[in-house]
Structure 1
Amino acid sequence: MPAGNKQRWSQEDEQHYATLLIQCERDFKLMAEHFPSRSYNQIRSHYYNMAKKSEEMDRSFEENKGFVPIQSGSFEEKPVTCVTQNVSPLNQPERRVDSEDCSEANIPESVSYFYSVFGV
């Protein structure tokens, strides 16, 4: 149940929340395999910090109705795209996948994000 919320979650909400937690734990373990120099706790902590920032960005996006300010002060609609990076050995060139459908990359979005953050 959310902090400070006196209403009970529906059974469907509780099941959805439990599913998300399980998915996060799987992502943490997968990321730990791909980033052996980072501890599980470092990855988990960074993941939660990024989730907080993501929530703030989502709120800002909703407040701006999907429009973001550009340099001139006017607004421009920005398309949402998925840019992921396939996992490959260090001696092979990287292959990027630009697509609306992240499933083409065959790796979780969170792993792609960590590759961009940790610069691996």
Structure 2
Amino acid sequence: MTIRRRWSEEENDDFLRLIHIYQKDFQYIANEMNKTYNQVRSHYYNINSKTERTKQNKSPVNELHLIVFEKLKSE
């Protein structure tokens, strides 16, 4: 069993300062992921609206994984 000690005011302030500093980075990453997901999803639905859905129903998330894998493979 570990005993947790209370954070001092300074430690608490440092932690909150770090969260504030990195919050913009996390928000940027989340926005980029959301944009990519939406592009893949709209691409997926555009293709499927033109053609019949296949028995092997691919989800937008799997398509996203394929795109990321292809990008990594090409580098």
- Alignment TM class, shorter chain as reference: 0.3 to 0.5
**TM-score (structure 1 length as normaliser):** 0.32
**TM-score (structure 2 length as normaliser):** 0.46
Answer with 1 or 2: which has the greater Rg: 2
Give the structure with the higher percent strand.
Answer: 1
Q: Whose RCO is larger (CA < 8 A, sep 6+)?
A: 2
Give the structure with the higher percent helix.
Answer: 2
